[in-house]
Amino acid sequence: MKRILLITLLLASVACQPADSAPAPDPAPSTATYTPPAPVTPTPEPTLAPTLPPTPLPRFFTEEFEGALPGWSVLQSNTDSPPQTRLQDGALIFELTLPYSWVYAIMGIETYTDVRIDALIQSRASSPESIGLVCRYHEQDGWYEFNISGDRTYSVLYGQWLAEGVARYIPIAIDGSEYLNPSGADNEVGLSCQGTTLWLYINGKLFRKLNEARFALTEGKVGLSISSFENTPVTAGFDWVRVSEPAE
């Protein structure tokens, strides 16, 4: 009897519950698959090529004018018409179009005390000219230069800038030489500055020594010179230049 009563009460209790209180069905299990994110690969920093310092020019060298000319600068005493300078057939060529012009190519890298400079000079015999070598060049103190001309004469000068484009020249020696080839022919010339002595060479011969104590320049740069006289144009050049230690 008790069991029948208990079942009756349970049925009544269920019947009295509201319809919306029925338990929600369990959600269907998810079938999505978890994919872990791909690992992040860091972008490598660009590798910079090492910056190499410029190759220093040797203190003593031979220049054969086959390419660029690092270290050389061109100066002139007459600024009204810049000289035409070019490399042609393995030579450094100068063309001067104004009379009484002086042009210099100075090697500005090194300063020397005792030094020798030699060059093979090509005279194009266009007009009389003076062409040669420079040692102990200093912008304020001056310089020495040894020049030859087509009339088989030579000169040794002390030069000094008085203002921009204005220079003065004081002769140290002027003479002729049997060792010079005539106008239009090549000449090899050399100038050695040692202490207070200037050694002069023409075509392989030491032909004169000059004791120079008046201006007493002790150090400076080396270079090349070319000048015109009253007639122009002047065309001349250098086939090669050698800077070395004095052998004597």
Confirm whether 15 is domain-assigned. no
Confirm whether 21 is domain-assigned. no
Pairing outcome for strands 91-96 and 153-163: unpaired
Domains identified in the chain, total number: 1
**Which domain range does residue 101 map to?**
61-244
Predicted local confidence at residue 56, as pLDDT: 61
CB atoms within 10 A of CB 172: 18
Predicted local confidence at residue 157, as pLDDT: 97
pTM metric for this prediction:
0.76
Confirm whether 2 is domain-assigned. no
SS3 14: helix
Confirm whether 52 is domain-assigned. no
Confirm whether 178 is domain-assigned. yes
Confirm whether 22 is domain-assigned. no
Confirm whether 111 is domain-assigned. yes
Q: Two tokens at 196?
A: 């207070």
Look up the CATH number of the domain holding residue 195: 2.60.120.200
Predicted local confidence at residue 125, as pLDDT: 62
Predicted local confidence at residue 134, as pLDDT: 98
SS3 173: strand
Confirm whether 28 is domain-assigned. no
Predicted local confidence at residue 52, as pLDDT: 41
Mean pLDDT (10-residue bins), the chain, 248 residues? 36 41 48 47 44 62 87 79 83 90 91 97 79 96 96 95 90 96 90 97 97 95 93 90 91
d(CA 24, CA 221): 104
